[in-house]
Structure formats: structure tokens, C-alpha cells
Amino acid sequence: MNYIMSNFYVDYQKKVIFVVLIIKSKNIMEVKMTLDCKGLSCPMPILKVAKAMKDLKSGEVLEMLGTDPGTKTDLPNWCTKTGNEILEITDLDGGVTKMLVKKA
């Protein structure tokens, strides 16, 4: 978790008050492309991700939605081999998994 810490002083009626403000900052990432791989089974989700990544620039994020349980292990392995980064794997309702991949 990243935190932003800011301190400031307030002079109110000749009293100095020290205030510390800590804000949890979220890493906000913009999804550049969403790929719907629901209903597809191995190896199609990985092949579609590989093709889609060619259209992205370095640092851009691809969101892949899929239902094949094998993709939860296949995609991280593919990312390791290709140098891309898996940012998130989240199980959604209806057996759908959302995966975020950042292009190297």
C-alpha cells in the first residue's frame, strides 16, 4: 500500500497546531483494452491475449474476462515467459475471472 503523508501548521489565536494527514493512495490504472474470452477453453484465451498485446504499447493494461479455470495458471506462466506482468486476478460472479495484464 502506498501512503501520501502531508504535514502542515495552523496558527490560530497564537496557538500552533501540528496536523498530520495520511491518505491511502490507490494505484489507479487505466485499462486500455478489454478482451472477452468467456466460454473459450485452452489454448484460445492465451492466444487471444497474445494477439491483443501486440496492439498495446509498453505499460498499457489489458483486461481479460474468462471462464476457463486453467487460465488462472496459464496466463501468469505466459506473462513470466513473455516479460509481461500480471497485475490482478479476481473471481467475479458467474464463474468469470478478471485478469489484468501490463505489457512489458
Active-site annotation, residues: 42
Percent composition of the chain: helix, strand, coil (DSSP 3-state, to 5): 25, 45, 30
Nearest in space to 60 (alpha carbons), one of 98, 100, 103, 27: 103
By the 8 A CB rule, do 10 and 39 touch? no
Q: Which bin fits 91, alpha (ψ -120 to 50), beta or left (φ > 0)? A: beta
CA dihedral sign of residues 56, 58, 63, 64? positive
